[in-house]
Chains A and B, each alone.
Chain A
Amino acid sequence: MSDTVAREGAAAQGTTLISVRNLKKYFPQSHNRKLHAVDDVSFDIMSEETLGLVGESGCGKSTIGNVMVRLLEATGGQVLCEGTDIVTARGKELQDLRKKMQMIFQDPYSSLNPRESIRAILADAYQIYHIARGKELKEKVDELAASVGLESYVLDKYPHELDGGKRQLTGIARSLSLHPKFIVCDEPVSALDVSVQAKIINLLMQMKQKMKLSYLFVSHDLSVVRHISDRVAIMYLGQIVELSTTDEIFSNTLHPYSMALLSAVPKIDFRDRRKRIVLKGDVPSPVDPKPGCRFAPRCWMARDICKDNSPPLTEVAPGHFAACHFWKESRDLAEEISTR
């Protein structure tokens, strides 16, 4: 994918905060094979923007998040944060970048040190970066906890004494402690009950506004992503197949995989009874994928060209990117198949 394509995709409004360029992450397998978890992905995130990243398990969405904050080393490509490449940064440069980029994890229990009190967990970052100590440190932690709505008695508890919602609040507070500009939220609400989930989503949205944050919001839950995101990218087998503004993605879906994914979600609304596109088979293996469009084996409109040529992610309408040879016809074809 060319540089220009992805840059234009981001040129919606505001300034670019993060640019991901041709990012690749391969995991070595036995017999010299490679698992292509992320395969040549490019996109931008604007400042104060939430980009939703959606896909099924194993599509590489969490890997992208991990590579972007450098919890995993990239195989190739760049992740530029205000011009500095995270993939190659070292020493002081990397340390400074880490202050700007934080992460909230899916499982709030395994991502908190069980032997530290909540206060100690929240104080860690201030101590590591020599920001505060003693009485000042205590005040900073109190203030931080209050900002996400954690009651002060919680600070003396340990992670196992808290419920899922409070644990996730701790995770969020920790990620905010250094006033980052960008946070990767990796399925932050999928382990939570419905009533707690709403609380966490609301908090994330408030914090974004208050602290002028940008999020990469990784999730498999389309309704949550629709609720929180400004733009949405849909992934399939290590590649982005469609990217646009949230309203556009949900109302003017162009890629056949996106259509199938959207139609698969069971809906509460009785007036919205669109016919479902049921995909056959399972997601193929990402180990040494075959050339051609990766969705072709499950696609109802695949033709010969799809098996040989991988369609690039192209801007088919202003700000709307799709990687499909037949994006023009896809809507009519979907109409046909779903009324059949």
Chain B
Amino acid sequence: MPGTEKNKDPGAGNEVLLRIENLHVEYRSGGAIAKAVNGVNLAIRRGEAMGLVGESGAGKTTTALSILNLLPDRVSFVTKGDVFFNGKSMFTTSEQELNSIRGGQIGMVFSNPLTSLNPLYTIGHQVAMVLMKHKGMEKADAYRTVGDLLELVGISRERINQYPHEFSGGMRQRVGIIAALCCSPQLLILDEPTTALDVTIQAQILEIMKRLQAEYSTSLLMITHNLGIVAELCKRVAIMYGGEIVEEGAVNEVFENPKHWYTHGLLDAIPKLTGPRVELKALPGLVANAQKLPQGCKFHERCAHSRGKCIESIPPFFKISDEHYAACWDAEENA
């Protein structure tokens, strides 16, 4: 592994499964260029659950799609950087090999469980197909395994021959999760998996995720705007803004002692379920527009603490502790 400043993972004994290095992604359409991801560095170790948090347009989903090399053709361009899975670049891997990695070694759960399942095939068929393709199982074996998995997530195996429209939203999402998990992938990417669901169903899904992660020690990348979910499920968290990771570290450190003003702002803007009811502090302005990103720190236009330095130059990652980094000039003195 290169010994650059990106290689800032403590506990080097733990093997890094996924490494995103200085990733830049642009979307081009007509004359417009939207810089969706601007130099993201991220490493996920084996068995680790990482949360990726940000508002819409922060570049979370683009980052996730880059990991699978699934960015849409013709409009999206990786202009710089690379993604290494098991030490191998995803951008130079052949399409054939990619197909065995996708769904086999990396599973992905999408945010909308209705559109990510094929309405023309039964649930059993869709999940069994994954097993037959990636694990070379016989049809009967595959169906038996699917039945077991359905029961594992609390769906009766009698429903194996039903179609997606016969399932409720929560059940569809559980099907999406077992389809992503059935080949015991090394990495599971979850893109807002519970956004469309009610809280009690969300609680069911979170419990399942916790159990499965403990059982199979799968690495997780949990993309969400819900800080509560991250606090419950993840060990580490990365906060994204304007296509960059602005703060990263152990979840409890970042949430209890945020060092980037954007993280501060996010935490202050959310109403809490416990403690005194204090007035919410709204962040001024809007999420940075990817088509005309500001100079320097991407957040400076909305930041009450910005100064000359913030407008002139992009702050690097400052080390707060072994498990905590922030890209804010104000974090420099703490570094």
Contacts and interface: CB of A to CB of B under 8 A. Distances in A.
A interacts with B: yes
Nearest to A203: B282
Contacts, number: 119
B314 interface: no
A165 B55 CA distance: 13
Contact of B225 (A193, A223, A269): A193
Interface residues of A, number: 40
A283 B203 CA distance: 14
Nearest to A58: B198
Interface residues of B, number: 45
Contacts of B273: 222-223, 226, 250, 262, 265, 267, 269, 272
Contact of B228 (A266, A278, A283): A266
A220 B199 contact: yes
A267 B198 contact: no
B272 to A, nearest CB: 6
B200 A260 contact: yes
A279 interface: yes
Contacts of B283: 195, 198
Which of A268, A281, A283 has the most chain B CB atoms inside 10 A of its CB?
A268
Nearest to A201: B280
A268 B272 contact: yes
B303 interface: no
A161 to B, nearest CB: 14
Interface string B1-43: 0000000000000000000000000000000000000000000
Contacts of B228: 265-268
A264 interface: yes
Contacts of A267: 228, 231-232, 273-274
Interface in A268-320: 268-270, 272, 276, 278-283
Contacts of B281: 198
A160 interface: no
B202 interface: yes
A282 B171 contact: yes
Interface of B: 55-56, 154, 168, 170-171, 198-204, 206-207, 225-229, 231-233, 252, 255-256, 265-275, 277, 279-283, 286-287
